[in-house]
Amino acid sequence: MEAVYAGSFDPITLGHVSVIERAFKLFDRIHIVVANNRAKNHKFTLDQRTELVRKSIADEYSARTVIRPFEGIVADYVNANGIEAIIRGVRNATDLEYELQLEQYMRHTTVAETVYLSPYAQHMQTNSSLVRMFFQSGKHEHARAFMCPDAFDQALLYLNGA
């Protein structure tokens, strides 16, 4: 069974990675869709965010992973690729309320079921906004604790113009 996990991943965090790892216990193949939300002011470009996702996926999962940058409505990706499930990460009640609203839209536009997964306990409070704040304030080393090492190193290269 195939599932999609979509997000802006600006940048991808250990919280995202833990949801992905948990999802691999349930699904044969996961499409990680790196979405370009025009309403957001992204710290990293779509191509950079896609590469950070690539650097965050453990080798043991790479053969079962499809990573795609995407500039459209995720429901269109789901329908075009015959995806059977949509994975959504939920950390708290606020996340769940938003995700339940989003699920109503998906129910009207796809046949995929939504599956909610929480990150591992140690990553429950991790979010991309916090990591971006560290990068924007020049406190790069503080961001290291919230990202995979290879992705963190690549993010620093991007921030330094590489």
29 is in an annotated binding site: no
- Per-residue pLDDT, 107: 87
88 is in an annotated binding site: yes
pLDDT band at 124 (very low <50, low <70, confident <90, very high): confident
**CA 3/CA 31 separation, integer angstroms:** 6
89 is in an annotated binding site: yes
Integer angstrom CA distances of residue 87 from 14, 19, 78, 133, 140: 16, 8, 11, 26, 30
pLDDT tens, 46-64? 999 999 999 999 999 999 9
Integer angstrom CA distances of residue 58 from 16, 83, 149: 13, 22, 11
- Per-residue pLDDT, 45: 94
129 is in an annotated binding site: yes
pLDDT tens, 137-156? 988 899 999 999 999 999 99
- Per-residue pLDDT, 162: 67
81 is in an annotated binding site: no
Sheet containing strand 29-35, edge to edge, reads 65-70, 29-35, 2-7, 85-89, 113-117
128 is in an annotated binding site: yes
Kindly report the backbone phi and psi dihedral angles of residue 36, in degrees, each rounded to the nearest multiple of 5, phi listed first.
Answer: -105, 95
- What's the chain's length in residues? 162
Mean pLDDT within 120-126: 83
- Best CA proximity match to 9, nearest among 141, 19, 75, 1: 19
Q: What 3-state class would DSSP assign to 79?
A: helix
**pTM, 2 dp:** 0.91
19 is in an annotated binding site: no
8 is in an annotated binding site: yes
Mean pLDDT within 92-103: 81
Q: Domains along the chain?
A: 2-159 (3.40.50.620)
Are 91 and 125 in contact by the 8 Å Cβ rule? The answer is yes
pLDDT tens, 128-140? 989 999 998 988 8
Mean pLDDT of the chain: 91
99 is in an annotated binding site: yes
40 is in an annotated binding site: yes
Mean pLDDT within 101-118: 89
Q: Is the peptide bond before 11 cis (omega within 30 degrees of 0)?
A: yes
Tokens representing 103? 């699920």
90 is in an annotated binding site: yes
